Structure formats: C-alpha cells, structure tokens
Amino acid sequence: MTPIPAPETGIEPMTLWHALAGPFIEYPFMRRALVACLALAIGSGPIGVLLLLRRMSLVGDAMSHAVLPGAAIGFLIGGLSLWGMTIGGFVAGLAVALLAGIVSRHTSLREDASFAGFYLASLALGVLLVSTHGSNIDLLHILFGTILAVDDSALFLVGGVASVSSLILLAIYRPLILECFDPGYLRSVSGRGSLYHLIFLVLVVLNLVASFQALGTLMAVGLMMLPAASARFWARQVGSMMLTAIVIALLSGFIGLLGSYRFALPSGPAIVLTGSIFYVLSILTGRRGGVLTRLLATRHLTG
C-alpha cells in the first residue's frame, strides 16, 4: 500500500485544529511536556484534593520547599542529573514530613506549625547549598523547573509516579477518606490510622518530586492545589472532586503550554497561571457556592 500524499496547497490555513494541536504535532519537546502535564494531573490532582480536605493546603507548599536541600545535594554530587536530584529531593521531603509528623504527634506543637519550622530550615539549607556551589542558572532551573526540557527518563519518572500514586490511592482510598473526616473512629476500629497518614505523606512527597522536575520547587505545588481548590466549586463528593481536579489540571497544562509557545513565555509559570485563571473562574461561576450562583439563587424553595 502506498501512502496517499497530502495535497500541496502552498498556503498554510490557520485552522482551530492547527492552532491547538500544531505546536504539539510539530515539536517533540512540546509533546513530551504535554505528556508530563497529563501524568502530573493524574498524580497530583487527587493528592491535592485530599490535602485540601485535610486542611493541609499550605502544607503541600511547605513540603515542596522542603525538597530543595535534598535536590541540591543530589545536584552537588551528580550535577543536573535526574535521578540524583529526584532521590535527594524525595529523601529530604520525606524527612521533613516525618520530623514534622513526629513532633506534632508527640509534643504540643500543631502539625502546621511544626511543618513551618522544618521546611524553613530545609529551604534555607537548600538555597545555601545551591548558591555556594552552583551558578545562578542552576538555581533558576531548580526554582522554576524545565518542563520544555523533559527527556525520556524524566517522562518515565513522572509517569511512574503518577501510576504508582494512583494505584496506592485506589488501594487505600477508604481508610484514607475515613482518616480525613473521622480519625477517631478509624483509630477505634483499626490500629493503622497513622500508617495510612504516613503513606499519604509519602505520596505527597513523591508527587511533589515529580512535578518539581517539570515546574520547579516554587511552582511544583501549583498543579496540585489550584485544580483541587477549583474542583471544590464544581464537585459534590470526594471522588468527583478528584476527577474534576484532574481535568482542570490537564486543561491548565495544555492551555499553559500553548500560551507559553505562542507568546514566548516561560512555561512553568504559564501553566500555574492558567490554573489560577481556572481557580478565579471557579470562585466566580462555580456551581457549588460560587459567587454568581449565590447572587442569582435569591428565590428560595417551598420545602
């Protein structure tokens, strides 16, 4: 069979399809970035929803900063190598999460306060390490990520994290939800309440390390929390909230990448800003408690 040649028209019509898909068809690096965004959306979206429902939204942010010194040490040992920085970041993030967890469980300090203490120390150490041993360019890479430079191994990492994290989440969904809204009951019927909390923290760190590759430490939490906060305005129950968050995260990635390509903007911030636009739109128009819905629903029902 001979392939049918595409008709040569000489002019390139700027169709909608072309505007939306063109950059991704044309450039492999854009395709990779889009696949990375898909994986991040699937991994981080549900984790963000659980953080939000546990009132730990800012803890995600703190953890993403805590990843820095580990990544920096990995960087010092192996240069800008994916695995060194990933493993270092994972260890550092987990260490801060565990220390903060232990301190909040065994002293009178609350979890948010102990997280704040440890992540600040970790962040300072990380910036110190990077700035004394690397160039400013390196620092920028680590702080803002390089989603357009995602190579195959980084893609495998991000995809692997998303798969593992989704599978674990599915497996421990019920106890995790129960631990969120009625931890006392879980403790009275099962002895493993804190184990589930621990697994959840590991998942948070894993997903942060994955998105840290693409979006950098400062923005890593963007695809986690913004879609989750937006989804709260649309979905009624936890499961549908997670799906909504995934869709919003994916759309943010797609539109953000496209915008960064068309207007020559840095892609990480463009993606997170797109997420912010979804967030503001959700606040205004969201079906569940959005501003417009509240303003319009002035007539009450009969019973």
Partner 1 sequence: MISTPVISLENLTVTYDRHPAVHHVCGCFQAGSLTAIVGPNGAGKSTLMKAIVGLLAPAGGGIRYAGIDRRRDVAYLPQQAEIDRSFPITVADTVVTGCWQEIGAFGRVTSAQWRRVAEALSAVGLDGFGRRLIGTLSAGQFQRALFARLLLQKASVILLDEPFNAIDARTTADLLALVQRWHGEEKTIIAVLHDFDQVRACFPQTLLLARELIDWGPTDDVLIPANLLMMRQMAERWADDADTCSRNRD
| Binding-site ranges for partner 1 (CB under 8 A) | 53, 171-172, 174-175, 177-178, 180-185, 187-192, 235-238, 241
**Minimum CB separation from partner 1 for residue 194, in Å?**
13
* Calpha distance 224→211 (Å, rounded): 9
Task: Check: CB of residue 43 under 8 Å from CB of residue 213.
Answer: no
* Calpha distance 53→51 (Å, rounded): 6
* Calpha distance 279→274 (Å, rounded): 9
- Determine whether 60 is exposed, middle or buried from the number of CB atoms within 10 Å of its CB (0-12, 13-18, 19+): buried
Torsion of CA 57, 58, 59, 60, to 10 degrees: 70
* Calpha distance 157→144 (Å, rounded): 18
**Minimum CB separation from partner 1 for residue 17, in Å?**
38
Q: Where are the beta strands (DSSP E) in 36-182?
A: none
Task: Round to the nearest angstrom and report the end-to-end CA distance of the chain.
Answer: 69
**Minimum CB separation from partner 1 for residue 235, in Å?**
8
| Shorter beta-carbon distance to partner 1: residue 190 or 285 | 190
| Shorter beta-carbon distance to partner 1: residue 220 or 231 | 231
| Shorter beta-carbon distance to partner 1: residue 236 or 299 | 236
**Minimum CB separation from partner 1 for residue 55, in Å?**
8
**Minimum CB separation from partner 1 for residue 202, in Å?**
17
Task: Check: CB of residue 43 under 8 Å from CB of residue 165.
Answer: yes
CA 189, distance to chain mean position in Å, is 33
CA-based nearest residue to 158, from 33, 39, 45: 39
**Minimum CB separation from partner 1 for residue 137, in Å?**
44
| Shorter beta-carbon distance to partner 1: residue 31 or 54 | 54
* Calpha distance 48→223 (Å, rounded): 8
- Determine whether 173 is exposed, middle or buried from the number of CB atoms within 10 Å of its CB (0-12, 13-18, 19+): middle
**Minimum CB separation from partner 1 for residue 282, in Å?**
15
| Shorter beta-carbon distance to partner 1: residue 1 or 189 | 189
| Shorter beta-carbon distance to partner 1: residue 30 or 235 | 235
| Shorter beta-carbon distance to partner 1: residue 150 or 241 | 241
